[in-house]
Amino acid sequence: MYSDSHKIRLRVAFFLLYVLCFVLGVRLFSLQILQGDAYRKKAKKVHSSIIRLLPRRGQITDRKGHQLAVTVEQYSLYASKKIDNPRAVSRQLGRILAKDPDELYQALSSARGFLWLKRQVSREVCNRVLALKIKNVSYLEEPKRFYPKKELASNLLGFTGLDNDGLEGVEYAFNKYIKGKGQRFLGKRDAKGRSILPPDYIFATSSTGADITLTIDENIQYLCEKELAWAVREFDALSGQVVVLNPDNGEVLAMAVRPTFNPNAYQRFPISDFRNRAITDIYEPGSSFKIVTAAAALEEGIVAPDELVDCGQGYMVLNNHVIDDFRAHGKITFQRVVEVSSNVGMVRIARILGENKVYEYARKFGFGEKTNIALAGESKGILREPEKWSGMSLGAVPIGQEVAVTTLQMAAAISVVANGGRLVRPYVVKEIIAAGGVPIRRDKPRVVRKVISEETAALLKQFLEGAVNNGTGHLARIPGYRVAGKTGTAQKVDPSNGGYFKDKYIMTFIGFAPLENPRIAVAICLDSPSRKKWAANTAAPLFARITKQVMAYLEVPLDVKLGRGAARDSKDLMKAAAVHSSGGKNSGNSLYPGDNFLMPDLTGLSMREVFKRLRPLELEVKFQGSGVVCEQIPAAGSQISPGSVSTVKFSNS
């Protein structure tokens, strides 16, 4: 039944299909290759009638809803069609818009279709024009990004470019959420080819992007920036960063960077000022890194807090590499090693720990990996695997050399000590809420890992309090609160040759307050302050200035009783006295019960120390003899009042 003649007909039919294919191929070649340019021109002409509206960017606020980045409306006036009576209209408009009426008349009478009258005017001007009720004159809203607080948190926030895309910081990293959908409208053409904006579209505002709430607290951010700016100026540093975290959940409360820029006029600043150095810049931290080594030693049970460590004559030699302390500490307890920041003692302990443990704990503390704060450009720092260590590395890494860190990593690391042993992921975006009020994303605290036990963390706290009270960090002390912290001064790495600058130092301080139930963890880095040599004199006092104010702002209850002899040292007394004298005698609910203080125990102090200690009490002191105190009147613990007379006797025995 199926004959060859059927097959011939089939072949004929399919041959025709092949021909069709070929014809279409040729047609497409002609359209796309031969006439491509002509059509591209045509397309350009046709597409020129598309009117683009920028989407309205969502706002960025701090944790309490204070606006940090907002979108403000600008109004752009236009004529959509030919205007009746252009002479009169141009006179009216010229007055309101401050434009030359003749020019306006020229433009209006020669316009073939859509015409901008004036772009980006205020709402007031816009309303005045609309009040004239001129036919075919209307306006479009055009959004513009504005940073009401100018420099505040600008390195964190970033900024947007001309096309409304975020270029740096949060604006960049979360662009897809905040940007909103751009809308394009077709300015349809009438029969004569003139563009007409369809009336229904004119008032259609472009859609709004999502709002972002940061974990930042505007006030803490402000005072950090203020104090950081002070420190950079005062100590003549190249740059500086301060990161304040809530150590319990990793919320970034402040991230201050100097140098900075004004995002409203970013074009006027060098690109290097845009950088969020707290996450992008890495440096050798020096002694503040010793918390890692100390934590490892305690957690691994290598050494007990009160065990004596021989720090010898203040130096040791490891593979022809000298490690020195600037001072001979001799045999001191391990706690003391941390407090006085002995390099020799720390390296000695590290050698017992071994390379692998030092590396393991550094990794556990979050070094050598990104914190994943969800901002672009974060550096993971440098932490080499033990296999790549040199013979000198065990004398370097444990004391914060041969490693590079970011300030954010340091903040996360000190939070581990503050919160009882957990590494929490720092995060800066609290939530993202769509224009309709629907939450899109809500970042939750996340524990990355358990680093050390609660007991180890408690011991470290005690060490770091000691480092502040009796060690290198004494300028970090603040009245009314027990604080913990560690300084670090490291020679700055010269990136040109991998060696060290002779006279440039990175000065760091990491700490937290109050000691029990810490509310903030702070990491500070000052790059090359030229006026001081040690972090103890730069980063530590900066910590005190910041922490003191944050404690007051957060209304954290005092954990050190002031007055009544419980005052711990002269600084507290100084503060007490200052408050006392300025607060007036009738302040009934004063911190200091009554008008009297207790006489401190001066036995064994030098004259200089006595002077320092008693000065704030506003006593009239009579000194007798020389040497150290052997006798005092009134006796320790007895009540004294300002202005009363006391006698202190010294002897050399």
Partner 1 sequence: MDERNAPDYFLFTVIMILAGIGIIMIFSTSGIMALEKFNDKYFFLKRQSLWLLIGITASLIAMKIDYRHYEKPAPRILLACIVLLSMVFLPGIGITINGARRWFKIGGFTFQVSELAKLVLIIYLASALSRKQKDLKNFKRGVLPLVFVVWLCFTLILLEPDFGTAMIVLAVSYFLFFVGKMPFSYLALPAVLVAPLSVFIVRSKPYMLRRLLIFLNPGTDPNGLGYHIIQSLIALGSGGPVGVGLGESTQKMFYLPEAHTDFIFAIIGEEFGFVGTFLVISLFFIVIYRGAKIALKCDNLFGALLAGGIVMAITFQAMVNIGVVTRLLPTKGITLPFISYGGSSLLINLIAVGILLNISAHNEAAT
State in angstroms the smallest separation of the CB of 82 from partner 1: 24
CA distance 345 to 350: 9
Q: How far is the CB of 115 from partner 1 (least distance, A)?
A: 21
For 330, phi then psi, to 5°, come to 70, -150
Distance CA 529, CA 513 (A): 25
Closer residue to partner 1 in complex, CB, 91/184: 184
**CB of residue 11 to partner 1, shortest distance in Å:** 7
CA–CA distance, 522 with 426 (Å, rounded to integer):
12
In the bound complex, what is the minimum distance in angstroms from residue 9's beta carbon to partner 1?
5
70: phi > 0 → left, psi -120 to 50 → alpha, else beta; which?
Answer: beta
Choose between 46 and 636: whose C-beta lies nearer to partner 1.
46
Angstrom distance (rounded) from CA 554 to CA 548: 10
Q: Identity (one letter) of the amino acid at 575?
A: K
Q: How far is the CB of 283 from partner 1 (least distance, A)?
A: 42
Q: Is 85 left (phi over 0), alpha (psi -120 to 50) or beta?
A: left
CA atoms in the 13 A half-sphere facing the CB of 424:
25
Best CA proximity match to 444, nearest among 420, 458, 427: 427
Residue number with CB closer to partner 1 (64 or 188):
188
- Residue 5 or 497: the one with the smaller Cβ distance to partner 1 is 5
- What is the bridge-based pairing of β-strands 620-624 and 645-651? parallel
Q: Closest separation between CB of residue 76 and partner 1, Å?
A: 21
Closest to partner 1 by CB, 23 or 265:
23
Beta carbon nearer to partner 1, 50 or 317: 50
In three-state secondary structure terms, 12 is: helix
| Smallest distance, partner 1 to C-beta of residue 10, A | 5
The residues that touch partner 1, with contacts defined as CB under 8 A, are 1-2, 5-7, 9-11, 13-14, 17-18, 20-21, 23-25, 27-29, 31-33, 35-40, 42-43, 46-47, 50, 181, 184, 186
Shortest Cβ distance from residue 35 to partner 1 (Å)?
A: 6
Asked if 71 contacts 144 with a C-beta cutoff of 8 angstroms, the reply is: yes
- What is the smallest separation between the CB atom of 188 and partner 1, expressed in angstroms? 9
Q: How many angstroms separate the CA atoms of 469 and 466, rounded? A: 5
Closer to partner 1 by CB, 21 or 317: give it: 21
Task: Give how far the C-alpha of residue 432 lies from the chain's centroid of Cα atoms, to the nearest Å.
Answer: 19
Q: Outline where 281-406 has alpha helix (H).
A: 290-299, 334-339, 343-353, 355-364
Q: Can you read off the two tokens belonging to residue 229?
A: 């700016």
Secondary structure letter of residue 58 according to DSSP: P
User: Which of 184/531 has CB closer to partner 1?
Assistant: 184
Nearer to partner 1, 6 or 233 (CB): 6
